[in-house]
Amino acid sequence: MKMLVTGGCGFIGSNFIRHMLNKYPDYKIINLDKLTYAGNPDNLKDIEKNNNYSFVCGDICDGPVVDKVMKEADHVVHFAAESHVDRSIDDASIFVRTNVLGTFVLLDSALKHNIKKFVHISTDEVYGSINKGSFKETDILTPSSPYSSSKAGSDLLARSYYITHKLPVIITRCTNNYGPYQYPEKLLPLFITNILDNKKVPLYGTGRNVRDWIYVLDHCKAIDFVLHRGNTGEIYNIGGGAEKTNIEITKMILETLGKDESMIEFVKDRPGHDLRYSLDCSKLRKLGWKPDHSFEEALVDTIRWYVENRWWWEKLKH
């Protein structure tokens, strides 16, 4: 398999590339990444010299660059995106450009080059908030933030390329990931690294927002599963089955690092902050995928990784 991975220098993309190269030593991977603030070549330092891996620094909105790498590939896994909700509230323009226009450029190029499978990485946030029960793949999309709306736009565009042009698209919608190499602006790495620096952790509102958490390697294995065994034209929800409030997570991190709740600083809530995300993942589970990691164990492993890898995050934070 010759795979084009977009956004492979980010958090999930880098974990995915490492997983694929370890599991399938004969697959070739081209990583197209613009190296925005969130793209970090350090994430793949151990992979750089692998003969089956190549890196192209480029923008997914740049048609000629995309065509050039697409020509070399038969499969695509599309992670590249602007991904931080708070930044999308400050300025949505780059979110619309990268997430919507960039996905369009990729889909169009994939069609021209007869790509065999195009996996579009979407998010649970496209469904919006749900107070009770869980969203199924057939539920309508009611996103709340400029980030999730731009992801919903790309998600629908990807689906339209399957319906209209028969491009073999698969869409995955995953819940909150945690694990190594996550940029320290997102809740878990921000809180862990703040505590390691003896700084308070800023918790939005009252901390009662609920998210489902999945260990990043379980997400990568789900994408691998879908890439090989998923049906084209289908949408698959992916979740870890670990719904927690933000305050619960915060307390777990504090306890693991031997700190008390005086480290919590409650801050003004994010505008439009969704209360709860929840996915029904039975469709993918029926096909045979399930997460391998328990939340409690993988959270401790993740905290340990940030404790042991200050070299990785210190230069990003300071």
Ligand X SMILES: NC(=O)c1ccc[n+]([C@@H]2O[C@H](COP(=O)([O-])OP(=O)(O)OC[C@H]3O[C@@H](n4cnc5c(N)ncnc54)[C@H](O)[C@@H]3O)[C@@H](O)[C@H]2O)c1
Supply the minimum distance, in Å, between the C-beta of residue 165 and ligand X.
22
Q: Which of 20, 70, 75, 102 is in the footprint of ligand X by CB under 6 A?
A: 102
Query: What's the CA gap between 176 and 231, in Å, rounded?
Result: 24
Query: What's the CA gap between 183 and 313, in Å, rounded?
Result: 8
Candidates 169-177, 223-231, 265-273, 301-309: pick the segment binding ligand X (CB under 6 A).
169-177
**Cβ 47 vs Cβ 17: under 8 Å:** yes
Choice between 39 and 291, CB closer to ligand X: 39
Candidates 2-10, 157-165, 259-267, 277-285: pick the segment binding ligand X (CB under 6 A).
2-10
Residue in this structure with the two tokens 């629908």, named with its chain if needed: 156
Residue in this structure with the two tokens 């340990």, named with its chain if needed: 304
Burial 203-230 (b: 16+ CB within 10 A, else e): bbeebebbbbbbbbbbbbbbbbbbbeeb
- The answer for residues whose C-beta is within 8 angstroms of residue 10's C-beta and 6 or more apart is 33, 38, 39, 40, 43, 79, 80, 83, 183
**Residue 313 interacts with ligand X (CB under 6 A): yes or no:** no
Q: Which of 59, 82, 108, 124 is catalytic?
A: 124
| Cα–Cα distances in angstroms (integers) from residue 255 to residues 129, 195, 263, 285, in the given order | 29, 11, 11, 32
Choice between 109 and 123, CB closer to ligand X: 123
Q: Which of 61, 141, 167, 254 is in the footprint of ligand X by CB under 6 A?
A: 61
Q: Which of 53, 147, 178, 181 is catalytic?
A: 147
| Cα–Cα distances in angstroms (integers) from residue 25 to residues 20, 46, 55, 77, in the given order | 8, 15, 17, 18
Binding mask 30-59 for ligand X (x = CB under 6 A): --xxxxx-xx-------------------x
Reply yes or no on whether 24 is catalytic: no
Strand 75-78 and strand 210-215: the pairing is unpaired
**Residue 18 interacts with ligand X (CB under 6 A): yes or no:** no
Candidates 171-179, 272-280, 291-299, 306-314: pick the segment binding ligand X (CB under 6 A).
171-179
Reply yes or no on whether 125 is catalytic: yes
**Residue 104 interacts with ligand X (CB under 6 A): yes or no:** no
**Residue 141 interacts with ligand X (CB under 6 A): yes or no:** no
Supply the minimum distance, in Å, between the C-beta of residue 60 and ligand X.
4
Burial 156-179 (b: 16+ CB within 10 A, else e): ebbbebbeeeebbbbbbbbbbbbb
Q: Which of 60, 249, 253, 284 is in the footprint of ligand X by CB under 6 A?
A: 60
Query: What's the CA gap between 97 and 209, in Å, rounded?
Result: 29
Q: Which of 18, 66, 70, 83 is in the footprint of ligand X by CB under 6 A?
A: 83
**Residue 249 interacts with ligand X (CB under 6 A): yes or no:** no
Reply yes or no on whether 248 is catalytic: no
- Mind telling me the catalytic residues? 124-125, 147
Give me the residues that bind ligand X (CB under 6 A), please.
6-7, 9-13, 32-36, 38-39, 59-61, 79-83, 98, 102, 121, 123, 151, 174, 176-177, 183
